Structure 1
Amino acid sequence: RLVFEDYFIFSTLFIFPSSNQSIFKRYISKYNSNLNNKFDFSAFYKKYNTHLPNDKIPSENFLTWLVGFTEGEGSFIVNNRGDLAFVITQATIDKQVLEFIQEILGFGKVIRQSAITSRYVTQNKKEIDILASLFNGNLVLPKRQETFDLFVKGFNKWVTKGRILLEPVVINNRPILPTLNDAWFAGFTDGEGCFTCSIGEKRGFSFNFNISQKWEINLTVLEHFSVLFKNGIVSRHSEENTYEFRLGGVNNCKNVFSYFDKYTLYTKKSLSYKLWKDIHNDLVNKDHLDESKRREMIERTKMINKSNNTNSRY
């Protein structure tokens, strides 16, 4: 979809600070001049008003969050018969986020797949036409763009058949990356992010925020997160063909606070974030050095991990 030729160089310069800051600034300037960082929902609003003229239109903030969440949790499906479906899967304990999406979009169904899994689903032509206009030109992950391209090709065949005939979609592969002034990263974190903390019986502790992602083609997006938050490392994960962005340590992790305080998390990870941030404050105050306070903090870290586990793969 897009090749970030100079991207690895300047992101590496940021992760491993160099005295030659002018080189970093030059790469930033060159990269930004070739990249449209703004999400564009004009096509979505046009389609939405065409198919659902009496419904309240979703906000740009919600739509940007939904794009990020879909890139983490969504599926663009074309079955063997050529029929299409758009699906977002969640642990049933987080079913409320699927109902939230259904309520704001004004369409789709939430189905309890099993005791542990629920899905938001639409197979309606007009509704998928609306969603195609949402994601077209607004996807960040190159691998997700590949699956969406196949979905659109299937859509363009699908809409020429049956009682309801619609216009084909022209694929828009414009390069785009999220910023700290939009909700994409919050949506992606709701799908893929993890707030972690562990405190030892003595003085030791670890405090991290991390996001893992499969496929090397997505590696540059993880590197971009390091640029956004002015820190962090990207490394290979223990799983094959998987990479991880990690912010580690009390000082580095505070870089995400202003973002997540502004852009809401809608899954149970909102609880994880609140607990994680509270423990960060305790660590800064060195409460973990007091034995009684440390034991209480250890119990609270278990709640963070419990909230994270409810959002793990089902």
Structure 2
Amino acid sequence: ALYYKFIISEILFYSKNKIINLCKLPFYCYLLFKKVISDTFLNLFGFGGISSLGNLDSKDIDHKFLQWFVGFTDAEGTFLIKTKNKSEVNFSYQITLHIDDSAVLYLIKEKLGIGVVSIKGNTCTFAVHSFQLIVDVLLPIFDKYPLITHKQLDYRDWRIAVSLKKNSAAPNRKTISVAPETFNQIVQIKESINSNRTNFYGYNICYSMISKYWLLGFVEGDGSFHFTNNRAIFSITQKDRQVLEAISIFLQNIPRAPIFNGLFLGPQPNCIITGKNNNTAYQLTISDTDVLFQYIFPFFKDLPFLSRKGVDFKIWSVGLFLIIHGYSKIPTGKAILLKLANNMNSKRYFSNMIDILDTAEISALFEIEPPFNIFSKKSHFALAKKYAIAQGSRKGYNIHIYKDGEEIPGSPFNSYRQGGQAIGLDSVSSIKNYIDTGRVFKDVYTFYSSPINKFNHFENFNKK
């Protein structure tokens, strides 16, 4: 059996109080993980940080970055029209993010060579207000690299309005007066785009329009790498179901590229699309662990993340590696997975920080022989089922719930749901995430699959 050893070679933390050269570092912090598991796995997490595309020639930088930029715009960008005095028209393009994500906006400003970045409260905005720069720089980009979501319709109409203004007077003035007829035409366009849009005629999309760099930019805006119920999840949330259907076809055609030979031959990516918020939005989800490990992880691993979503992806990758090898089935692994989850997505913002990753804990965990033998040619589901049976589980675990160190009335419970109902929880996900970790839920409850004394014996057995 392989001896698994995990090495974390470098962790760079960031601070609000430090001035960082954003031209050289396109994010406030990144976590650089290196793992050594076998000779074929030496640099798996040695991504070299979030790429600045520095290894590409200038033509590739333009081509690949601009595809990324259009994908990011499809997720986060807005085309705006402002009118006043019944004759003046101003146009702008903008992206607004949380202030902790401002570095990617400075990167966009640097790459495009236009625009300004402003900060207000806990948000930051990249904006282009210059009419001349909109005409000379932005229009050629979006004409050459078309938007794919419904935003293509907003751009189409916004572009028509820009042309109306351009043809009405000299375009180099920041604010100009236009003829009443032109003004009325532009007002009609303004009132029919963005959140006011009801006409979707002329919307064109097929999966062949999607490139991997567009998809990366789109995922950095609307995608999520996260954990739910001790499972790794990749998802994209969007109002436009057709886009998710096209992305689903694209992902079903990406190559299988496992980092190890001799693994279970997993199925092609199966993307589930479900409605959210009364079908006002839709979510594409991939949760099959084998698919994530053999398709999704290798695909994104080789792409140059430009935002702090790259930090999420790296942490998620460590968690996926932990899950595929079964470490999430033992208490210490569950606790570390919970810590990883508490350092991702919205929880990585300064205002939401909960846990600091303990690299010694992670290193110690990967010194343990993995609970699952991924070279057994069995699926992750089969290995998990085999492990559960070996641990004496049939239809799940008994749930022992403790409050301030004392078992609550009715404990143990026969299911997660019964336990959740006893303490007023509508969802069982918190129990699944916290069980056997020793972590205190809401500063009150702890959850175990065995009585505390027996659990402690089991924990000590696993450490031997």
User: Which deviates further from its counterpart, 61-70 or 137-146?
Assistant: 137-146
Separation of aligned partners in 2, 1:106 and 1:62: 13
Q: Pick the aligned partner of 2:96 from 89, 101, 116.
A: 89
Aligned partner of 1:270: which letter? G
Shift of 1:162: 3.9
User: Which deviates further from its counterpart, 239-248 or 65-74?
Assistant: 239-248
1:107 counterpart residue number: 114
Q: Pick the aligned partner of 2:227 from 197, 202, 221.
A: 197
1:1-314 alignment, distance < 5 Å:
59-80=62-83, 81-112=88-119, 114-129=120-135, 130-136=137-143, 138-164=145-171, 177=207, 182-199=212-229, 205-216=230-241, 218-229=243-254, 230-254=269-293, 255-307=295-347
Aligned partner of 2:319: which letter? I
Separation of aligned partners in 1, 2:344 and 2:299: 19
Separation of aligned partners in 2, 1:142 and 1:238: 19
Separation of aligned partners in 2, 1:180 and 1:142: 11
Separation of aligned partners in 1, 2:108 and 2:331: 44
Aligned residues: 244
Shift of 1:173: 8.0
Q: Tell me the TM-score normalised to structure 2 length.
A: 0.48
Q: Relative CO higher for 1 or 2, CA cutoff 8 Å, sep ≥ 6? A: 1
Aligned partner of 1:186: which letter? L
Separation of aligned partners in 2, 1:82 and 1:228: 45
Separation of aligned partners in 2, 1:231 and 1:158: 47
Between Structure 1 and Structure 2, the one with more helix by share is 1
Shift of 1:198: 3.4
Contact 1:159–1:165 (CA under 8 A) maintained in structure 2: no
Shift of 1:189: 0.7
Shift of 1:285: 1.4
Please say which structure displays the higher CA radius of gyration.
2
Unaligned runs of 5+ in 1: 1-55, 167-171, 200-204
Unaligned runs of 5+ in 2: 1-57, 174-201, 255-268, 351-464
Deviations 1:199-226 (A, max 9, x none): 5xxxxx2221101111445454344345
User: Which deviates further from its counterpart, 188-197 or 232-241?
Assistant: 232-241
Q: Tell me the TM-score normalised to structure 1 length.
A: 0.70
Deviations 1:77-132 (A, max 9, x none): 112243210111111111000000000111111111x2211111111123212211
Deviations 1:212-264 (A, max 9, x none): 11144545434434534532111212354211111113112222222212222
Contact 1:76–1:87 (CA under 8 A) maintained in structure 2: yes
Deviations 1:18-60 (A, max 9, x none): xxxxxxxxxxxxxxxxxxxxxxxxxxxxxxxxxxxxxx87521
Contact 1:269–1:308 (CA under 8 A) maintained in structure 2: no
Assess, with a 3 A threshold, how the Cα gap between structure 1 residues 173 and 125 changes in structure 2: closer, same or farther.
farther
Secondary structure at 1:59 match in 2: helix
Shift of 1:276: 0.4
Assess, with a 3 A threshold, how the Cα gap between structure 1 residues 122 and 88 changes in structure 2: closer, same or farther.
same
